[in-house]
């Protein structure tokens, strides 16, 4: 991120910032100090909000390659921001330039800068179900051709792409952001052979049947396994390991419980546990989810339980569960 003050009296402040790896689908809305602000489509100058005519916003979706963000132009836009030019391209990074202009009375921003809040429709990625080269797939989406990727709305497909990783730079053949041919900038970066792709596809199909979506903002600073867990949680699934591969198991549909027992398995003492004891199991959940209606804060919902469960258990036993990538109360 880059911030610069300029003009003779430093009345202009420009912020050049990244919001996500790209490409993303769109910048949906912008709020300055929690006030929704919209901008003219030609001059990029604010036309609603608390700073009409004194603020400009330009955005880039994070395509590769990508031209640099520029300073605003047009009447009242002042001079270009210094120390920022055409070589600051931010390839593969969704980004924005926010410029603020202080009025002659120094009352527009009162010596500070606004707190920006962007709502975005996030990244594109590979969906095997839309790839005719994948068994059972149908469509033109290809893992090694980022220009064919689709917008990700569902948690298991987001988790699959997190396993593959986000890649940036020139592959050497004039293509950009190609997995395994460029530089890894986020995610796990596993080879496709190291991923049980079919399990993610199954979890995604179950989630789609239930209408479950994902809303997430993982960071390269976050624990990679924790991100994987949270993305899968939005699809009613959990991480697993299958034959040494990254896999997952969905809890959104009934699973057949099958086990093969041989003589070797019964040599010696055998202990079988068919479930938790009454004292260990819980029957009431106190869920929190990531609420768009509350400016993307974690919001507590009412307890979820069933009288049959509490009657059988002899009372309520509660547990709080966070759903940090679930954007809908009913889904939580």
Among 42-46, 202-206, 283-287, the range scoring the smallest mean pLDDT is: 42-46
Residue 75 confidence (pLDDT): 58
Radius of gyration, CA atoms only, the chain: 25
Sheet holding 35-36, edge to edge: 35-36, 24-32, 116-125, 150-151
Query: Which comes out higher in pLDDT, residue 209 or 262?
Result: 209
pLDDT in tens, 279-323: 778 999 999 999 999 988 999 999 999 999 899 888 899 999 999
pLDDT in tens, 97-124: 999 999 888 899 987 899 999 999 999 9
Q: Are strands 318-323 and 284-291 parallel, antiparallel or unpaired?
A: parallel
User: How large is the average pLDDT for residues 73-82?
Assistant: 73
**What is d(CA 186, CA 171) in angstroms, rounded to the nearest whole number?**
17
pLDDT category, 74, cuts 50, 70, 90? low
**What is d(CA 235, CA 171) in angstroms, rounded to the nearest whole number?**
33
pTM of the model: 0.88
User: How large is the average pLDDT for residues 132-142?
Assistant: 97
Biggest alpha carbon distance in the chain?
88
* Sequence-separated (6 or more) residues with CB below 8 Å from residue 261: none
**What is d(CA 305, CA 300) in angstroms, rounded to the nearest whole number?**
15
Residue 188 confidence (pLDDT): 97
pLDDT higher than threshold 90 for residue 134? yes
Residues 208, 211, 217, 219: what is their CA dihedral angle, to the nearest 10 degrees?
-30
Alpha-carbon separation of residue 292 from 88, 155, 307 (angstroms): 32, 17, 31
């Amino acid at each position: 991120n880059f911030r610069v003050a300029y003009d003779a009296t430093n009345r202009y402040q420009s912020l050049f910032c990244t919001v996500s790896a790209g490409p993303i689908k769109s910048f949906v809305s912008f709020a300055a100090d929690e006030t929704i602000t919209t901008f003219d489509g030609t001059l990029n100058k604010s036309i609603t909000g608390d700073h009409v005519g004194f603020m400009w916003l330009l955005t880039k979706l994070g395509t590769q390659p990508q031209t640099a963000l520029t300073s605003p132009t047009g009447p009242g836009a002042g001079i270009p921001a210094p120390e920022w030019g055409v070589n600051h391209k931010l390839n593969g990074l969704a980004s924005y330039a926010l410029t603020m202009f202080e009025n002659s009375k120094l009352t527009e921003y009162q010596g500070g800068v606004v707190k920006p809040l962007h709502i975005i429709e996030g990244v594109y990625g590979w969906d095997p179900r839309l790839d005719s080269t994948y068994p059972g797939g149908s469509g033109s989406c290809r893992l090694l051709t980022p220009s064919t990727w689709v917008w990700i709305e569902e948690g298991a497909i987001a988790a699959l792409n997190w396993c593959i990783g986000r890649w940036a730079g020139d592959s050497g053949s004039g293509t950009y952001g190609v997995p395994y041919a460029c530089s890894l900038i986020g995610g796990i970066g596993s080879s496709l052979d190291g991923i049980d792709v079919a399990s993610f596809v199954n979890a995604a199909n179950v989630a789609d049947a239930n209408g479950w979506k994902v809303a997430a903002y993982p960071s390269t600073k976050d624990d990679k396994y924790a991100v994987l867990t949270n993305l899968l949680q939005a699809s009613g699934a959990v991480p697993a390991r299958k034959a040494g591969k990254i896999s997952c198991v969905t809890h959104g549909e009934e699973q057949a419980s099958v086990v093969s027992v041989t003589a070797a398995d019964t040599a010696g003492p055998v202990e079988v546990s068919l479930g938790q004891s009454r004292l260990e199991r819980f029957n009431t959940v106190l869920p929190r989810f990531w609420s768009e209606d509350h400016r993307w804060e974690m919001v507590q919902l009412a307890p979820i339980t069933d009288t049959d469960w509490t009657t059988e258990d002899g009372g309520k036993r509660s547990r709080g569960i966070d759903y940090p990538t679930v954007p809908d109360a009913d889904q939580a």
